Amino acid sequence: MNMERFDPVTLEVIRNRLDMIAEEMQLTLLRSSCSPIVKEGLDASASLFTVDGVTLAQACAIPIHLATLIPAVAEITRRFPTEAMREGDIYLLNDPYAGGTHLPDIALVVPVFTAGRIIALAATMTHHQDVGGLAAGSVPTNATEIFQEGLRLPAVPWARAGVFDETLTSVLRANVRIPDVFIGDLHAQVAACRLGAARLAEAAARHGDNTLLTAFGLLIDRSEAMTRAALRAMPEGTWQAEDWLDNDGIALDVPLRIAVTATVRDGTIHFDLTGSSPQARGPVNAVPSGSLAAACFAVRAVTDPAIPNNGGCFRPISLTLPEGSIVNPRMPAPVNARSATIKRITGCMLAALAGAVPDRMPAPSAGELLVMAFGGHWADGSAFVTGELLAGGSGAGPGYDGVDAIETDATNCMNLPAEAMELEAPIRVRRWSLRRGSGGDGTFRGGLGQVKEYEVLSTIAAPLSFSHRGERHAIAASGLAGGGPGARAVSVITRADGTTETIASKRVTTLAAGDRVVVETAGGGGWGEAARRDSARRDEDAANGKIVLEGSA
């Protein structure tokens, strides 16, 4: 390394600039996108890459996006070598079996030039509200093949030297339910990448492109060194954890196992997921980049989140992902529900690492992000697709209660305001509250889940499509150090005629006018013996309606 000769001040100045550019790219994505899951759910991220495909800087509001652009950029540059890229090129990809994660996440990559020389790649990933397929919203829990999940894009150029391929545009438009929103959001990605490219070119003009390229390498090496040092500071050892997914959406009574063996040794960390269930018929399979994202999150959480986030952080991490398993499926297994799996993998990795840092690890969180999609037509014939993302409670820890209705681990999405939903879809929210009594009991109480009730209005043209992708309906978040488990999730459809249907975690169905859905998300695990809970805390919980008093349920 020639770090001795490179001015450390200039290096820090360049690092700040790269982070700022990534942040600015992401702000553009979040502000100008139309998909509710992006504008309310923040499900989008922006990165800068070296021409070799190493992450330079990343702005992600959701950890699940950590590292997930790496295989996408690798595939695009494999198919379209950077030496042959031209200024004004735009590349798309979403195929999970060739660099993608699941079909709604579309990677869009733009080469960055300065004085005719390619110096980097600007990349964004946005979760699009609908990419076609079996059900509106493109998260069908009953898919059994990727072909049912929507439009599949291998690495393809959408524009060459500034000229868009209008044939491709027309194919894209023809395959999705809300084409204007879809194309609009792609253009928000283009704008974000072009902005990143322009800002990076300015930085190259200021510092010189050779200086900039040298700094890229040094910054990546430094993050690697810092991550290794942080791992070396942890006790060495091997620890195991397992947890379960409710089902795969097809076989509703068969839970699926996630098993993690974590080994910390000599500044490296290895996660072996051998023992996880074989690949599922339903869409809970996660391609390898999902486990990498989970590992990146877990390592940052237990080491030092201040380590500059770039590809160097990922180098000390290795994974064993058995082929043909739920964590490394074979084509054409469906994958749309993979975020549930990534959340559970993350939870297991953290639980295993509790062996290394036992005094810092809280009880398991609900680890549930309930994903729902509603889509159909208004009485006037116009189409709507909207989604909802609801969290459960977080786990309690040594010295603190869990937090109610809060995003945890690998996701960090906002919910949809009732007013936002009612302004855009023929649905009324009848109730939205904390789920009393759902937190795991303990010296410190787990966070509560939430309750939300929806009613379909009569302003629909025909019954709407409804996808419900839950977790923790069958298996609760456990407590830690003697604490009790959180409540399991419960979702019930009450049809207009009064009949009820309990959703076994995952379901795709239709809802007619007057049908109602009540969802109750899971609670977080408690920490420590319940008998040792401070009575003042119990009294406060009772006064504020967080627990159910005996005899008053």
Site for another protein in 11-50 (CB under 8 A): 11-13, 15-17, 20, 24, 27-28, 30-36, 39-40, 42
Q: Which residues have a Cβ under 8 Å from the Cβ of 194 and sit 6 or more positions away?
A: 110, 122
Site for another protein in 162-191 (CB under 8 A): 180-181, 183-184, 187-188, 190-191
- Return the amino acid letter for 14: I
User: What is the spatial distance between Cα 384 and Cα 137, in angstroms, rounded to a whole number?
Assistant: 10
Q: Are strands 490-494 and 516-520 parallel, antiparallel or unpaired?
A: antiparallel
Sign of CA dihedral 315, 320, 321, 327: negative
Q: Which residues have a Cβ under 8 Å from the Cβ of 472 and sit 6 or more positions away?
A: 246, 366, 367, 368, 392, 486, 488, 489, 521, 522
Residue of the chain from 168, 226, 250, 492 that contacts another protein (CB under 8 A): 226
Angle 209-232/8-32 helices, nearest 10 degrees? 90
**Binding piece for another protein, criterion CB under 8 A, among 67-75, 80-88, 372-380, 427-435:** 427-435
**Binding piece for another protein, criterion CB under 8 A, among 9-17, 117-125, 253-261, 274-282:** 9-17
Residue of the chain from 210, 274, 320, 433 that contacts another protein (CB under 8 A): 433
Residue of the chain from 59, 76, 231, 302 that contacts another protein (CB under 8 A): 302
Is residue 230 close enough to count as binding another protein by CB under 8 A? yes
Q: Where are the alpha helices (DSSP H) in 394-498?
A: 418-424
Site for another protein in 494-553 (CB under 8 A): 543-546
Site for another protein in 399-418 (CB under 8 A): 399-400, 402-408, 412-415, 417-418
Q: Which residues have a Cβ under 8 Å from the Cβ of 297 and sit 6 or more positions away?
A: 63, 64, 66, 346, 409, 410
Site for another protein in 355-384 (CB under 8 A): 360-362
Comparing CB distances to another protein, the nearer of 219 and 280 is 219
Q: How far is the CB of 119 from another protein (least distance, A)?
A: 20
Comparing CB distances to another protein, the nearer of 237 and 399 is 399
Residues in contact with another protein, shown as a per-residue x/- string from 442 to 481 under the rule CB under 8 A: -----x--x--x----------------------------
- Residue the block writes with tokens 């049912």: 148
Q: How far is the CB of 301 from another protein (least distance, A)?
A: 5
Q: How many residues bind another protein (CB under 8 A)?
A: 94
Residue of the chain from 192, 356, 476, 517 that contacts another protein (CB under 8 A): 192
Q: How far is the CB of 81 from another protein (least distance, A)?
A: 28
DSSP assignment letter at 314: G
CB 520 within 8 A of CB 436: no
Is residue 423 close enough to count as binding another protein by CB under 8 A? yes
What φ, ψ does residue 93 adopt, rounded to 5°?
Answer: -165, 140
Is residue 307 close enough to count as binding another protein by CB under 8 A? yes
Site for another protein in 264-283 (CB under 8 A): none
Comparing CB distances to another protein, the nearer of 52 and 453 is 453
Comparing CB distances to another protein, the nearer of 65 and 468 is 65
User: What is the spatial distance between Cα 100 and Cα 95, in angstroms, rounded to a whole number?
Assistant: 5
User: What is the spatial distance between Cα 220 and Cα 227, in angstroms, rounded to a whole number?
Assistant: 11
Least Cα distance to 411 among 478, 503, 341 occurs for 341
Comparing CB distances to another protein, the nearer of 24 and 165 is 24
